[in-house]
Amino acid sequence: MRSDGPKSLDPIRGSTVYENRCASQVYETLLQYKYLVRPFELEPLLLEEMPVQSEDGLTWSFKLKQGVHFQDDPCFAGGMGRELVAKDVIYSWKRMADQKSDSKVWWIIKDTVEGFDEYHEQQNAAATFDYEADVGGLKILDDYEFDVTLRKPVSRFLWTLAMFQTSIVPREAVEKYGSKFGLHPVGTGPFVMKEEDWQKGVKLTYRRNPNYHECVYPSEHMPEDVEAGFTEAAGQRLPFLDEIQVEFLQQDQPVWLKFENGELDYTQVPAEFYEQVFNKRTGKLLSAVRKQGITGHAVPLMDFIFRGFNMEDELLGGYTDKKRALRQAMCLALDWDELNEAFYNGLNIVYDGPIPPGLAGHPEGGFSPDAYRGPDLARARELLAKAGYPGGTGLPRINFHMSKGRNSKGQSELMARQLKEIGVDVNVILVDFSTLMQTVDNKNAPMFAFAWGSDYPDGENNLALFYGPNSAPGANHFNYMNAEYDKLYQQIVQMQPSPERTAIYAQMLDILYNDCPYAGSMGRTRFYLVQPRMKYFKPVETFENWFKYVNVVGDN
């Protein structure tokens, strides 16, 4: 893993891909993505069947899969994991509302379930959070069946049930381990992990869950999966592996050396090593690499790479014409094509707006005439003067926060140079990714950078990043507030995909273009190399519970 690893494995405290990947091996959600099918589709995981929707679109009926047990752990009587029941689902969802438990994920379920927002408000205002209090829209019928009634039809609802933050946890473990629960996960997943298996910043080890409920390798696949060998294991019991070790490496050089030495079974290809293994013109793996039995994969990401502004910051935030002009000027000073060529071999897609390529709402050709995409230094200087800082005179130095490692230093220096050309001085602060996210969540980063991978294949997810009530520590890391935008967002969450819905997306993008709460954006294609002994790995970054499908045969 090309980072310092997760900060917590408690699902309600997770917000990054690293926490997603690590938590998803121990915990499970009601639904999951079909492993081999593209475009992405959902299927039952902890459910017996897909939920059934009422005619009015408001009530969903769920039936849990029987015989699913939590992993053995001292938190249970006799140390034996008990069966998962409907009460566990409702408890886990209520934890999302519990601010006293440092939940960062209320934004996922907010404004969705009948009576849940009122429960959230009442319980967080009370001296003690009451998990037994009723929520009108959550009704347990028996141990395996429950109904969920929504406030209004919500198109994203089923997608959220595959997000790792909605994983099901046992109350016994939360109460026994308290503040250490994030270090001591107990779920229903294919792998188990003990506290001593996690060396912070170094390595994390998983071991097979001997009592994992019956799940088999899928038979549903795409035509190209046959030649790739991904279909050979159809029908076999999961998981295959007895042990998995995840190493945390923030610098790319050691990652690359370990892969070359056969110490890593797969790697993402750092941009600076791309031409050592791929032909830049054709995108195909070089013959010398193929002869080693190594396979290569290109995975287009639902990716939103940006430079964000904290809209509550005294200098960079605000909504007056002068405040907007400062952000607009900075956006026009940035050259994303130069960044793409310098650090991504020109292989990324530079585009306007936060909605990635391939999703409804992505502007045609990735371009909008209303966006403040640079470089346009003459216009940037005019806007900087309009903001009250001609040539940068009087403008304080701006603190810019970014995670260290990989090529972050070079990227931040390039950005600082580009901004300096119009008179904007930036102080680059490089920190561990976990520290970066904590700083952003605490609203202490005036300007920051990271990438957002869509949680599900719908542009609504990306537009939620700017919905006012989702402000930090929610997904709205920009702390952006615009009443007109929020009203349109409340409208689209009730709509099914349609041309009318996409037209509203365009209105929302126009508002964002004008306010400039971020600069960007860019989407990556991630390139993977896989050693010959690693079988059935179809690289994907939309979901992270793929460890259970992977096998190792022989030695490198």
Cα 496 from Cα 110, distance rounded (Å): 18
- Mean pLDDT for 62-73 is 98
Which residue do the tokens 């002994």 mark?
533
Identity (one letter) of the amino acid at 85? V
- Mean pLDDT for 410-432 is 96
Cα 513 from Cα 509, distance rounded (Å): 6
127 pLDDT above the threshold of 80: yes
Identity (one letter) of the amino acid at 163? M
Burial 51-70 (b: 16+ CB within 10 A, else e): beeeeeebbbebbbbeebbb
β-bridge mates for residue 401, sequence order? 429, 448
Which of 134, 161, 181 is the last residue before a domain boundary?
181
- Is 236 part of a structural domain of the chain? no
- Mean pLDDT for 94-113 is 93
pLDDT in tens, 289-333: 999 999 999 999 999 999 999 999 999 999 999 999 999 999 999
Cα 181 from Cα 195, distance rounded (Å): 10
**Percent of residues, the chain, with pLDDT higher than 70:** 99
Q: Count how many domains the chain has.
A: 2
- Is 546 part of a structural domain of the chain? no
Which of 127, 153, 181 is the last residue before a domain boundary?
181
pLDDT in tens, 475-495: 999 999 999 999 999 999 888
Cα 256 from Cα 264, distance rounded (Å): 9
- Going by pLDDT thresholds of 50, 70 and 90, the confidence category of residue 555 is low
Question: Which one has a higher pLDDT value, 16 or 11?
Answer: 11
Residue 511 backbone class (left: φ over 0; alpha: ψ -120 to 50; beta: rest): alpha
556 pLDDT above the threshold of 60: no
**Percent of residues, the chain, with pLDDT higher than 90:** 86
- Mean pLDDT for 508-520 is 97
pLDDT in tens, 446-479: 999 999 989 899 999 999 999 999 999 889 999 9
Are 423 and 431 a contacting pair, CB within 8 Å? no
pLDDT given for residue 262 in this prediction:
92
Q: If 0-12 CB within 10 Å is exposed, 13-18 middle and 19+ buried, where does residue 411 land?
A: middle
Which of 155, 181, 207 is the last residue before a domain boundary?
181
| CATH code for the domain of 34 | 3.90.76.10
Cα 294 from Cα 208, distance rounded (Å): 26
Which DSSP string do the residues of 80-108 spell out, in sequence order? PPPBP-HHHHHHHHHHHH-GGGT---HHH
406 pLDDT above the threshold of 80: no
The range of the structural domain enclosing residue 155 comes to 11-181
CA distances to 355, 479, 491, 531 from 502, rounded to whole Å, are 11, 24, 12, 42
- Is 354 part of a structural domain of the chain? yes
405 pLDDT above the threshold of 80: no
Burial 413-436 (b: 16+ CB within 10 A, else e): ebbbebbeebbbebebbebbbbbb
Instruction: Give the chain's radius of gyration (CA, Å).
Output: 24
Identity (one letter) of the amino acid at 388? G
Cα 321 from Cα 554, distance rounded (Å): 64
- Is 530 part of a structural domain of the chain? no
β-bridge mates for residue 452, sequence order? 304
Are 270 and 408 a contacting pair, CB within 8 Å? no
* DSSP 8-state assignment for residue 248: -
* Assigned token pair, 55: 């005619």
- Going by pLDDT thresholds of 50, 70 and 90, the confidence category of residue 419 is very high
Average pLDDT for the chain: 95
- Is 397 part of a structural domain of the chain? yes
Are 388 and 343 a contacting pair, CB within 8 Å? no
- Is 5 part of a structural domain of the chain? no
Quick one: 176 and 310 in the same domain?
no
pLDDT in tens, 238-252: 999 999 999 999 888
- Mean pLDDT for 14-41 is 94
- Mean pLDDT for 431-447 is 93
Quick one: 308 and 160 in the same domain?
no
Are 520 and 304 a contacting pair, CB within 8 Å? yes
* Assigned token pair, 427: 């102080």
| CATH code for the domain of 432 | 3.10.105.10
Q: Which of 183, 40, 181 minimizes the C-alpha distance to 101? A: 181
- Is 4 part of a structural domain of the chain? no
- Is 227 part of a structural domain of the chain? no
Q: Which of 228, 239, 194 minimizes the C-alpha distance to 75? A: 194
Are 544 and 27 a contacting pair, CB within 8 Å? no
